[in-house]
Chain A
Amino acid sequence: MLIRRAPLIPSSEITPERVYRQRRELLGLLGLGTVGLLAGCGSADTEAPAAKAAPTQPLGPYDTAEARTSFEQASTYNNYYEFGTDKEDPAKYAKNFKPRPWTVEVSGLAENTGMFELDDLVKPAPREERVYRMRCVEAWSMVIPWMGVPLAKVIEALKPTPAARYVAFETLYDPARMPGQSRAVLDWPYREALRMDEAMNPLPLLVTGMYGRDLPNANGAPLRLVVPWKYGFKGIKGIVAIRFLEDEPLTTWKSLAPDEYGFYANVNPTVDHPRWSQASERRLAEGTSLFNSRIPTLPFNGYAEQVAHLYQGMDPKVLY
């Protein structure tokens, strides 16, 4: 009996890894095309899952084209002390967290205060995707496609009074659902805030999703803040309260160590953390090798053009 051996595949026929890795995007494009063709036949929500997983929209004015962090990296490695202090903890211990139903209490110096269903709160503007750099105060960074609504649009709809100079946020406090809160590592609940002019800048996003999916529990589901020119800890997660205030409130990390974490927390390569340098960062993204991950940190995390004017005349030393 003749045994035939399969012919060797010439190396020219093998799909290069780069192309292979784009296969989802290619499928996504096909999927989008199909949806386009069939748009008349059904609801627009029947988008192909592949297209959802890999957003293919052209880049917007605020988006970075840098290599992205993989979904796996971004959803399994972050700080969310409500679920533990290790960066792997949120993914491990937030798995069974129920992010719905979810209400947000709006209070303080605004016309539209009260309890808001999450969907009503983020209704004022359509959800959009923003690909932002995320710079952690620990000197590592990611590039993440967030899905959310501009904070400014939500605030406009809440109609703050002219006396409101700050907007403050608070995370859910519920040790039964957030096991990390059973230890007094931080002064719970987690609190963050922005000056009103910072909040009204087009960059801050109230985020409900990432990578075309709903926001994973580990990343702050169902609602978190993303302020791309500030260190990651300003991006408060699991938001249950929004307050409009006249005076600067005390924020969580600032209350813990005011010399290490300021109110502004703007990414600033010239002001080091007292214990480590902020001049450069380790970029955690796809295609980053073990040997080339360190890159210089940019003032305002590269968003100086959009936000530097907010701090004109202020001592840069207070802007850490």
Chain B
Amino acid sequence: MSAPTPLKRTDPIPWVKLALWPLLLAPALRLAWLMYLAQTGQDQNALGADPIAYLTHHTGDWAAYCLGASLAMTPLRRLSGWPQWIRLRRLLGLFAFFYASLHLSVYAALDLGFDLSHLWADIVKRPYITVGFSAWLLLVPLAITSTRGMMRRLGRRWGQLHRLVYVIGVLVVLHYAWLVKADLTWPIVFGVVLTILLALRVWPAARRRTGAAGHFERPFIEAVQIEKEGFAHPLFGWCRHGRRRG
């Protein structure tokens, strides 16, 4: 991606992003390298005994990690009192979409060998695939509308649309829980993390509704929630909302 252009010398976010890129790409590159080793026979066991399961599980895990991380940014911002976390959210969300797409591709292309009728039968008949595929499908509009221009165009509705991410989180946990045979440990861990992340949002939202958060806070929070880089000034969002409402 393009080199970061720090807005100010004191703004660390572009540098955090620059560091996140290789970190988040590394798992995919590693898998590609292992695939190469296995396919060329240099190391038959590079991807373990069941290469497709290995690729499926690792891409799925990373999609979930990135999704969880993107969901963690809003609570982090609130808990740390540092609003800039929110600017990492798009990158994390797009990486979640990237790994979810790889996950689906491994399943459709490698596991099912592009047998689209088999894929469709699975989507319709197998609940864990139904919810997994739905989660990916719901990520598509979020990825498409993740650009600055789309945010501006959608305005208030952008925030409403992107609340779909909560639905996606629940679908992902269901997807995981439904496919294991007996040991639910990891699906439960994912579920608990998701519940905490959601609770951290619902609770302040409920407080706001009861008026505990004060009159000024609400538009401020909403503005920051939809704010992205370049829209760093919360007042801008606030003003915009004010205009729309007016």
**Chain B proximity of A91: nearest CB distance (Å):** 9
Complex contact B126–A291 (CB within 8 A): no
Complex contact A286–B35 (CB within 8 A): no
Number of interchain pairs (Cβ within 8 Å): 73
Decide if the interface of chain B is mainly helix, strand, loop or mixed.
helix
Complex contact A70–B44 (CB within 8 A): yes
Contacts of A140 in B (CB 8 A): 50, 53
User: Beyond A77-B48, A284-B50, is A138–B113 a contact (Cβ under 8 Å)?
Assistant: no
Contacts of B122 in A (CB 8 A): 276-277
* Cα A81 to Cα B180 with chains together (Å): 13
A25 at interface by CB-CB < 8 Å: no
Q: Which of A72, A88, A276, A284 contacts B126 (CB 8 A)?
A: A276
Could you tell me which residues of chain B, from 26 to 74, have a CB within 8 Å of some CB in chain A?
A: 35, 38-39, 41, 44-45, 48-53, 55
Chain A contributes a number of interface residues (CB within 8 A of B) equal to: 31
A17 at interface by CB-CB < 8 Å: yes
A182 at interface by CB-CB < 8 Å: no
* Cα A77 to Cα B38 with chains together (Å): 16
Complex contact A290–B51 (CB within 8 A): yes
**Chain A proximity of B82: nearest CB distance (Å):** 38
- A286's nearest neighbour on chain B, judged by CB, is B44
Contacts of A292 in B (CB 8 A): 113
Could you tell me which residues of chain A, from 125 to 175, have a CB within 8 Å of some CB in chain B?
A: 138, 140
Could you tell me which residues of chain B, from 104 to 160, have a CB within 8 Å of some CB in chain A?
A: 110-113, 115, 118, 121-122, 125-128
Report A234-277 CB contacts with B as 1/0, cut-off 8 Å: 00000000000000000000001000000000000000100111
Complex contact B178–A282 (CB within 8 A): no
Complex contact B183–A76 (CB within 8 A): no
B179 at interface by CB-CB < 8 Å: yes
Q: Which residues of A contact B (CB under 8 A)?
A: 17, 69-70, 72-74, 76-77, 81, 85, 87-88, 138, 140, 185-186, 256, 272, 275-277, 280, 282, 284, 286, 289-294
What are 9 A-B contacts with C-beta separation under 8 Å? A73-B49, A85-B183, A87-B50, A138-B181, A185-B182, A275-B179, A276-B179, A286-B44, A291-B113
